[in-house]
Every structure is written in structure tokens, then in C-alpha cells.
Structure 1
Amino acid sequence: MNIKFLETFVWVARLKSFRLTAEKLFTTQASISSRVAALEDELGARLFLRDSKGVALTAEGQRVLEYAEHMIDTLDSLKAAIKDPNQTRGRIRIGAMDTVIHTWLSALVTRLTAAYPALEIEITADTARNLCEQLEKGYQDIIFQTDMVRLDTVRNALLDRFPMHWVVARGSSYDRQYTSLNDLAAERLVTFSRNSRPHQDLLNLLHSSDVLSTRINCVNSASAITRLIRDGFGIGVLPLKLVQAEVANGNLMALEGVASLPDMDIVATWRTGSGIALVEDIVEIAQEVSRTDIGRNQMSAPIPSP
């Protein structure tokens, strides 16, 4: 039995799409259809039902999937037992939100290129919501974002937890003492994309305190947020790690004595199933990097007092 055909079958079952499987395996949709048809002929059973809504496993296909995943897992274990990691080839697609890109992603990539020098690493920067959609559709192998994804086909691991702060430009009109959350919320607030976890947490904090603010400005770029705050556009709501250099050189400062903000979680999310041993190895490396000073790029420097 052709292992490539089994692998193709497993990915079609996961992604529920011949087109997405073709993109995942770097081939054509016609080739995917041909492999599935050949496997169906060999097994003497129809494995998929196809209609306008997509692809679904038949009862026979569901039974075959369990055995196919077990066979591929066994083959992967065999390869891992005899293969030198330095010879690992292929492409790994990593999606990351800005907070990760501007903190420890470079350290992770450095570790990966050392461990897997022949591996091609493709990185996509996007919002957490878009990254989750891309993972679900099979466009990403692993993503680093803010939320646990509640799907049977994926796994999650909490990597880091960034304290959030109210951040202002030193010497600007926002650099003053605030008597209450109401007082602060009367100013222009700047945070991440609309409906992102930081945006939702900010809204929940304000609403739970019966504070209404009509000037929450959502920006989908950490660099743009930093520039806007530095130029006196408003009060930033973001992890201090993102702007540690600006704080250290005196351009920005964290406000003290104001209501605490919920931390920002950083979560690794990836697909479950067979053939993903490499992805899970990368998750382990990401966990190590996020826990060490290597990935923090001197982010633990002391914060100047206001």
C-alpha cells in the first residue's frame, strides 16, 4: 500500500478539502483526487462523500482513518529513530502575531535553524483571529496567538503571559496622575485590533467598572501603536515588553496607580493527528525559548519611575 496515498487520505480527512490538501502537500488538486481514487480502488471502499458543502468521511472512511493514522505514526517514529535532525527537510509554516514577532520569535527561529539547518521556515505575521482561521483552513502548521482554540482537531499550549500596562509618551499631555479609571478612560486609548483579546479585555474592564469610553482606537500593528503613543496620540494599552527599548531610553513610561489590566496570554496552537512530530518538536522549543532570557531580548530591564 502506498504510504503517500494514506498520508493524502489523512490530510483530506483533516482539512475536509481536496484543494486545501493540495496546497498543504504542494501538489495539484487533480493529483490529490487521483491518490484518493487509487486508495479507494485498492481498499474496495468509498472513503469520502463530496457535495457543495465540502468533503465528509463515509463510515468506511472513518474506520480506515484510525488505521491510516496509526500506520503513519509508526512510520514517523521509525524515521525519527534513525534520522539525523540536521537532515530534516521540508517547509514549516509559522503564523505569529506582532507581540511574538517583536519579542522572542527571532530567538525561536535562531534555535530552529540551528536544530534543523535544512528546514525551510515560512513566517506569516497577522492578527490572532486571522491566524486561527488560517490554521483551521490548513494554511499554517503552527500559530502563536492569544486564545485557546476549541476544536477537536487542534492542540494548545500556553507559552507565555505578558503583563499589560497603560503606556504614555514621557512629557506628553498624557503624562500625569490619574485619579480614577474614569479619569483615564476619558482620554484617547490605543490598543490592538478590534475584537482581539487585548481589545476585549479592555472593554470588559471598562464595562465591569461602569466606565464608558468612546475613544478606543484599534491598530493592527505593534510598531504603529508604539509610534502613535510616542508621538502623543493617546494612552497605549499593551505589553511593556513591546516598548521596553522606548521605556529604557526615556521616550515612553508606564502609568502607575491605575486599574490593573488582564495579562496577555501567548498560546501555541497546532493540528493534531499523524505526521506532525516536527511541529510538536517546534512547540517544545518555543516553550523553552519563551521561558528563558534568550527569548526576552533584555526585556527584563528595570522600568524608569514616572
Structure 2
Amino acid sequence: MSKSDRGSAMRILDMTTFVALARHRHFGRAAEELHTTQPAISIRLAAIEQEFGCKLMHRTGRAFSLTSEGERVLATFRSILANYEGLKRELSDHSDLGAKVVRIGAIDSVSSTWMTPLVEDLHSAFPTLKIELTIEGTKHLIEGLNRGEFDVIFAVDPAIGDSFRSFTACVLQMTWAGSPKIIDPDRIYTVDDLAGMPIITFPKDTPPYRMIAPYFQDEQVLASKLTSSNSLYSIVNLLIDGFGVGAIPTVTIKRELKLGLLHQINVSKRFPAMPIIGSYNSASEVELVRRVVEQARLNAARFCASVDPNMAWLN
């Protein structure tokens, strides 16, 4: 199984494999339990260790033990699997919910990370559930929720209202990035240095833009040239083409960083992390919305467990 087959978020099968291997401390017995082969177990373990970028198990002859990192991963995987199994049992008791429609809105940063696994898991739990997914900016999502156009949204700001409930699904680390055409990866850039470069960001009055302005105003400097776009995809392409630098969620440019299309900029002042806030109307289709929220929390947790903990984490 190649990493490209695995997708951006770690699968339940991978977590189950790691837990079984940690329990048996034996590749053969773990393979028997999971009805697979020892080479398959080895490949999955190697893929998990590659995902985290560290060794999770020590194997010396017949001796078999977890590293300290492996102990942390095991505890997290056990918690996620327990929640997953509990949710499956609960959902099986509410199969009648599958005939309904759920309207989900999300920002680009969610659609490019854990939204696809969420949709897949909802369809798996409710085969007849109709999902209407809209990708928009935070402002439009909140306005749509207020107008009754969405049941659940995932944005950067919470929706405010008596019937609205909000929660932090996860937190994404932001990083300054730019093309190797215009930045020196070995240099440490000050706020003044960045202010003298073209800046690419999201439109004015959006939460990411509101995070950009204080970053410079705190130092009483302003960007000399600013380009905005409401599309994460467009911003990434502009960065790759060398039109400027920008602060962007690190997990959304993992591939570009790995390929060298973009470089993280070493800065003297870090950019604040960006929370992903889920909001929903607790007065509409209460049971279905609650199930969607529970599944979203689980998918966000699974995603955070599958990436570098410095890139995304639970609040």
C-alpha cells in the first residue's frame, strides 16, 4: 500500500493494526487476528512510522517494545477506536436518519483536510443520507447558517445566536511560506522583512485577514503590496508562482513543502494558530445534526492523530 493510497488522514485499519501489534507484540499473531499477512502488517507499520516521522516500535531479535512516541500513539489510537466503535453502535440504532438531508458548509482548509473522510463515514453509516456540501468563506457560511441554509458549518469564527452551538473541532498551525524563487530558507525574516514583500492573503474582513493586520500593526509596519483571494487553491498557486509570501495552514501545503515547490519561512515572530470552529443550529433535525457533529469531532481527531502534532491538534 503506497502512501498515496492512504489519503491525507490515517485509516481506521491502520490504527487497528497498530493496536493489535502492540497488544500481541508479535507480527504473526497480529496478522492472524486481522486475517491478513505478516508482510501486510509490516507495510502498515512502516507507513504509520513514515507518517509520524519517527520510530514507534523497537524490534531486536524476538524482543519487541514500544518507543515513548509509540506509547503516545497507542493511547491516542485506542481512544479514537473506542469512540469510533461507540459511535458505530449508536448510529446503527438510528438508521432511520439515513433518509434525511444534511447541509454542511466548510472553509477550504477543512475541505482539503478531513472533510472527505467525514463525508465517506457519514455515507457509510447512513447509506441513504443525502449530503449537500458547500465550500465558502467564514462570513458567507455564518450568514447562510443564520438564514437556515446550513445545518452545520466549519469556519474560523463561531455563529452567534440563542439556538446556535459552537465547538472547536481542531486547531491548525499557520506558517509563512513562499516560493524558493523569492525566499531564502536559511534566512530568518523579521516582521519588517515580510512587510517589504508582496503579501498574499484572504479577502479583507475575513478572519485570516484579521489575523494578518495585527501581525504587522503590532510592529507599526504595513505590507507594501497585498493581493487577496477567497480561494485557498488560488493562494497556494500564487505562492508557488512566486507572486508573494503568505501565512497559510501548514497541513494544507504538506505536499508542496515536500516537493520543494514552497518553503517554510523562518520568522522572528510566529503567526498565531487558526482554530476551526464548528457551529450548528440545535433547533433543526436535532438527532441527525448531533450525529454529524459527533462524526466530525471523530474525523478531526483522526486527522490530527495522522499528521505532525505541530501542524494540527485538538483544543
Q: For the structure 1 residues 299 and 194, does the alpha-carbon distance in structure 2 shift closer, same or farther, using more than 3 Å as the test?
A: farther
Q: For the structure 1 residues 82 and 96, does the alpha-carbon distance in structure 2 shift closer, same or farther, using more than 3 Å as the test?
A: closer
1:300 matched to 2:308: yes
Query: Letter of the aligned partner of 1:148 in structure 2?
Result: P
Local SS of the residue matching 2:200? strand
Identity level (%) = 27
Report the alpha carbon displacement of residue 84 of structure 1 after superposing the two structures with TM: 4.1
Kindly report which structure 2 residues correspond to 1:1-306, keeping only aligned pairs within 5 A, or say none.
84-85=94-95, 88-170=98-180, 172-175=181-184, 177-273=187-283, 275-293=285-303, 299-300=307-308
Local SS of the residue matching 1:292? helix
Report the alpha carbon displacement of residue 213 of structure 1 after superposing the two structures with TM: 1.7
TM norm structure 2? 0.65
Local SS of the residue matching 1:285? helix
Q: For the structure 1 residues 107 and 200, does the alpha-carbon distance in structure 2 shift closer, same or farther, using more than 3 Å as the test?
A: same
Name the counterpart of 2:39: none
The alignment of Structure 1 onto Structure 2 pairs a total of residues equal to 221
Deviations 1:3-58 (A, max 9, x none): xxxxxxxxxxxxxxxxxxxxxxxxxxxxxxxxxxxxxxxxxxxxxxxxxxxxxxxx
Contact 1:86 1:117 (C-alpha < 8 Å) held by counterparts: no
**Counterparts of 2:117 and 2:155 in 1: how far apart (Å)?**
17
Query: Letter of the aligned partner of 1:278 in structure 2?
Result: L
Report the alpha carbon displacement of residue 134 of structure 1 after superposing the two structures with TM: 0.3
Contact 2:97 2:288 (C-alpha < 8 Å) held by counterparts: no
TM norm structure 1? 0.67
Superposition RMSD in Å? 2.3
Report the alpha carbon displacement of residue 87 of structure 1 after superposing the two structures with TM: 6.0
**Counterparts of 1:253 and 1:81 in 2: how far apart (Å)?**
43
Deviations 1:47-71 (A, max 9, x none): xxxxxxxxxxxxxxxxxxxxxxxxx
List gaps (5 residues or longer) in structure 1: 1-79
Contact 1:90 1:120 (C-alpha < 8 Å) held by counterparts: yes
**Counterparts of 1:102 and 1:241 in 2: how far apart (Å)?**
9
Q: For the structure 1 residues 227 and 87, does the alpha-carbon distance in structure 2 shift closer, same or farther, using more than 3 Å as the test?
A: same
Contact 2:91 2:291 (C-alpha < 8 Å) held by counterparts: no
Deviations 1:226-263 (A, max 9, x none): 11100101002110111101111111111113311111
Local SS of the residue matching 1:165? strand
